[in-house]
Amino acid sequence: MPQAPIVTDYSFVGSFFIFGIVFVAAAFIISWMLRPNDPNAVKTAPYECGEIVKGNSRVQFNVSYYLVALLFVIFDIEALFLIPWAVVFRQLGMISYIEMMAFIFILLIGLFYAWKKGIFQWQ
């Protein structure tokens, strides 16, 4: 059965997922059984250095964070294409190298454009 190693390999990975959850859950359950539980309004107030809380906590933040996230998505997907290429590029030869460099070059132009547009200038 050629499928067998994949099943055992990934059931192993799945077991690590379960062990991770068990690890955290066990710690929470043990602590839940042992700890005191006595909340009151002062205790549960959000921490603002001891001052009385002002306004909503979900404050507005700089738009640059969104732009950085967008930029990340582009480069992360590019990395997804680069990984399989990096494994086999010696067999594929010079053509694939030139193609990949053209691909990277186009993305770098995008990065340079974002740079000139001032994404990294934070006010």
Partner 1 sequence: MFTLLNLTNMITTGIAVLGFIAISAMFLIWWERKVSAHIQTRLGPMRVGWHGILQSVADAIKLLLKEDIRPAGADKLVWWLAPFFVVVPSVMAFATIPFGKTLIPKDLNIGVLYILAVSSVCVLGVFMAGWGSNNKYSLLGGIRAAAQIISYEVPLILSMITVVMYANTLSMQKIVESQSHSWNILHPNLALAGLIYITSATAEVNRAPFDIPEAESELVAGFHTEYSGMKFAMFFIGEYTNLFIISAIATTLFFGGWKGPLLPGVIWFLIKTYSIIYILMWIRWTFPRLRVDQLMGFAWKFLTPISFLNLAIAGWLLL
Q: Which residues contact 64 (CB under 8 A, 6 or more apart)?
A: 119, 120, 122
* Nearest 10 degrees: Cα torsion 37, 38, 42, 47: -10
Binding mask 57-96 for partner 1 (x = CB under 8 A): xxx-x--xx--xx-xx--xx--x--xx--xxxxx--xx--
* 52 lies in the site for partner 1, by CB under 8 A: no
* 122 lies in the site for partner 1, by CB under 8 A: yes
**3 state DSSP class of 48:** coil
Tokens of 95: 């053509």
Tokens of 45: 């107030």
Q: What is the b/e burial string over 74-86, where b = at least 16 CB atoms within 10 angstroms of the residue's CB?
A: eeeeeeeeeeeee
* 50 lies in the site for partner 1, by CB under 8 A: no
- Using the rule CB under 8 A, which residue among 21, 106, 110, 117 binds partner 1? 21
- Using the rule CB under 8 A, which residue among 2, 19, 63, 102 binds partner 1? 19
Which residues bind to partner 1, rule: CB under 8 A? 1, 4, 7-9, 11-13, 15-21, 23-24, 27-28, 30-32, 34-39, 41, 43-49, 57-59, 61, 64-65, 68-69, 71-72, 75-76, 79, 82-83, 86-90, 93-94, 97, 100-101, 104, 108, 111, 115, 119-122
